[in-house]
A = this chain, B = another copy of it.
Amino acid sequence: MGKIATKPSPAPPGRRTGLDRADIVAAALDLVVREGPAALTMRRLAAELDVGTPTIYWHVGSRDDLVAAIVRTQSERLAERPVEGATARDRVLAAALHIYRGAIEHRAITSLAHQTGTASLLLHDLEAALVAELEDAGLAGAACADALRSILVVVTGSLVLALRDQSRFPEDYRADVLWAGSAAPVTSGTRAALCAEPDIDALTAVTLRAVVDHHVPGGEGAA
């Protein structure tokens, strides 16, 4: 079990291009970052590496496997950020915001992960840092797992909201148009607020703080 990334560094016998599985995954990740998730095609990637498509398949298996490997790789790269903060709550919040901001900064890969249903894979390595902070804050066992998952729910939801592309669906279905023409019984001020573009970063921070405060014990004084 666990036969991933167990290839010895000294060049194994019988190869012609010197391509590694890790090389292919790295090239695929780079391609997605440069030209978006839609550019990740087996033929395109093969051309990028100056190689035939079967070579890709020989090294990585299927496209789903390739995407999973890309997401895992990105997850590991994201996990290297340090966490700072004074109180336990602050540190947990900072770790969660690291996850969110890291995913936003590499939105191409985050979109890819979402489309393929591997978003939880992308966040996994950062969960570890979050769990460490949660345990430092005094949580353990099921309570810690619950807190972690609540936070992940908020981060994931925020990402979906932040990465959605309004221009993708037809004019009549855009959020502001829907609200402007809706027959719902809403105050005009509220309707205007709903039509406006939300500040998702601030929204994420507020929602996260509510959830963190709810799960993590600590000073109840702050507003």
Given the interface pairs A145-B193, A149-B203, the reply to whether A169 lies near B68 with Cβ below 8 Å is yes
A211, CB-defined interface residue at 8 Å: yes
Given the interface pairs A157-B154, A206-B150, A207-B154, the reply to whether A142 lies near B4 with Cβ below 8 Å is no
Q: Are B172 and A140 in contact (CB under 8 A)?
A: no
A30, CB-defined interface residue at 8 Å: no
Task: Please indicate the chain B residues that have their CB under 8 angstroms from the CB of A132 in the complex.
Answer: 184-186
Cα(A2)–Cα(B173), bound, Å: 10
Given the interface pairs A144-B193, A203-B150, the reply to whether A2 lies near B117 with Cβ below 8 Å is no
Contact with B along A181-223 (1 / 0, CB 8 A): 1101111011011101010000110110011011100000000
Tally of A interface residues using CB under 8 Å: 74
Q: Which residue of B lies closest to A169 (CB)?
A: B68
Task: Please indicate the chain B residues that have their CB under 8 angstroms from the CB of A141 in the complex.
Answer: 187, 189-190, 192-193
Q: Chain A contact residues: over half helix, strand or loop, or mixed? A: helix
Given the interface pairs A1-B172, A4-B172, A172-B1, the reply to whether A204 lies near B145 with Cβ below 8 Å is no
Cα(A81)–Cα(B197), bound, Å: 28
Q: How far is the CB of A66 from chain B (nearest CB, A)?
A: 11
Instruction: Pick the interface stretch among A13-21, A42-50, A88-96, A158-166.
Output: A158-166
A51, CB-defined interface residue at 8 Å: no
- A145-B190, A146-B203, A156-B157 given; name 11 further pairs at CB < 8 Å: A68-B170, A68-B173, A114-B117, A141-B193, A145-B193, A152-B157, A153-B161, A154-B207, A157-B160, A210-B213, A210-B215
